[in-house]
Amino acid sequence: MTTPPDDRRDPVSAPGTDPTATGPVASGPVGGAQPEPVAEPADRHGRRGRGEPDRDAQLAEQLQEEPAKNGSRTAGIWIALILGAIVLIALLIFVIQNNTRATFEYFTASFDLPLGVAMLLAAIAGALVMALVGSVRIIQLSFQLRRMRKSQNAVRHLVNGR
């Protein structure tokens, strides 16, 4: 005759406590305890069965919200103008202090310029190259933003049912 395992000494072999079990135990709860509710499986989007209407309403509300704008464009423009004026004053001082003439050769051309002016022209050429590269990146980002807005509008139409 075999005796049932003692529930107090061996919790693994107690009925209803099998750690390898994946589903509810067929023998029922021990000691009259209520069974824990089994969570509904999520669909392929991670949504639960009962909460779908609430979830859709939350998504529609989030899509309709506009992000808050901090500061103003006018303040940003004024700050940029002030910083630009400071940089120009510093460049003017640099050109005035470096007025010794220097000979420059570019391919077959040879010319004399004050050193400060030549360095200022080199800085302007570098800024133009930087602006060209930045413009290309801005154009790329504007195309990407346009595609994202189109897909966002498509999602809005799906959520709102239009």
As beta bridge partners, residue 27 has: none
* Domain assignments of the chain as residue spans, ordered by start: 74-160
Q: Provide the strand spans (E) within the chain.
A: 101-106, 109-114
Rounded Cα gap, residues 159 and 54, in angstroms: 12
Rounded Cα gap, residues 146 and 150, in angstroms: 6
In this structure, how many other beta carbons lie within 10 angstroms of the beta carbon of residue 14? 15
Based on its alpha-carbon atoms, the radius of gyration of the chain, rounded to whole angstroms, reads 36
84-94: per-residue pLDDT in tens? Answer: 999 989 988 98
In this structure, how many other beta carbons lie within 10 angstroms of the beta carbon of residue 130? 10
Global pTM? Answer: 0.42
Contact present, 115 and 101 (Cβ < 8 Å): yes
124-152: per-residue pLDDT in tens? Answer: 999 999 999 999 999 999 999 999 999 99
